[in-house]
Amino acid sequence: MPESLAVFPVWVIVIDYVLGVVMWTLIGRSAMNIFLPENSSFFFMRFFVRATDPVLRVFRPITPGFLLDIMVPLYVAWFFFMIRFYLMPWLLGYSVMGMLSFPLESEIAAIIYQLFGG
d(CA 80, CA 75): 9
Domain with 112, as residue range(s), is 3-117
Domain count along the chain:
1
Across residues 14-34, what is the average pLDDT? 92
Q: What is the pLDDT of residue 96?
A: 55
Across residues 56-65, what is the average pLDDT? 96
Across residues 6-24, what is the average pLDDT? 85
Model-level pTM greater than 0.85? no
Q: What are phi and psi of 67, to 5 degrees?
A: -70, 140
pLDDT one-digit tens code per residue, 66-84:
999 899 999 999 999 988 8
- Tell me the pLDDT band of 109, cut-offs 50, 70 and 90: confident
Q: What are phi and psi of 99, to 5 degrees?
A: -60, -40
